[in-house]
Amino acid sequence: MLCCFLDTYYLWQERKFRILYDEVRKGKNDIVINYLSSSDTALKLKDEIIDKYAVKCLAFKCDVSKVDEVDFMFETVEKEFGDVSVLVNNAAGNS
């Protein structure tokens, strides 16, 4: 499974992430989108990915600067999808 933890502000705007999703389509990998505050964008993107690529997709709200939230997110993802085989991470913590 491809698991993407990406900042939703940049996620669908930048060409490199569109290319990433084209690669996902080829491999039929499932996707997890992590977001903190852009829930509308994340949920819209989740629906677009499901419709366009016919894969499972989960949008998960998590503050990556908080270990307990990250642990919970990974536990949930592993229960839903199994082991994570690829992690694409561009999330930035602001503290």
pLDDT, residue 48, reads: 84
Non-local (6+) Cβ contacts of 50 within 8 A are 56, 57
23-78 tens-digit pLDDT: 666 667 788 888 887 788 888 888 988 888 788 888 889 888 899 998 999 899 88
The conformation of residue 61, written as its DSSP 8-state character, comes to E
End-to-end CA distance of the chain: 31
Structure tokens at 62: 């998590």
The single-letter code of the amino acid at 20 is L
Overall pTM surpassing 0.85 (yes/no): no
